[in-house]
Amino acid sequence: MKRIAIAMYQGKVSEHFGYCDAFYIADIEDNTIINATKMDSPGHRPGFLPDFLMNYGVNVIIAGGMGESAVTLFLQNHMEVYTGAQGTAKDVLSLWIEGKLVSSGTVCHEHQHHDECH
């Protein structure tokens, strides 16, 4: 089973992981969604969200963009990281299930421009 967290902002995939307002969490088994829920973000603090999601059992994270330290923390903990995603959580999740979601590898370097991470 995979537990996927999609960083959301105002109902769409967040352009920057750290500034999301919620996570769409889905459990996938045999390419089928067996559970899905929306969870409010506990807020942004450097290094906090990767640990928070790992402790919640997430092993795949999807966002529009993500800071280098978050990407590093996820990868060091053997988690799949997808950046460059756009659209609704359900559309992005469908692409992931179909094996069609491709990470852009986007890493955000300037957090003051969190709304411009591409």
Confidence of residue 110 (pLDDT cuts 50, 70, 90): low
What does the pLDDT average to over 42-50? 82
pLDDT digits 0-9 by tens, 53-100: 989 999 999 999 998 888 998 999 899 999 999 999 999 999 999 999
| Domains of the chain with bracketed CATH | 2-112 (3.30.420.130)
Pairing type for strands 2-9 and 22-29 reads antiparallel
Distance CA 51, CA 77 (A): 10
Is a pLDDT exceeding 60 seen at residue 112? no
Coil vs helix vs strand at 10: coil
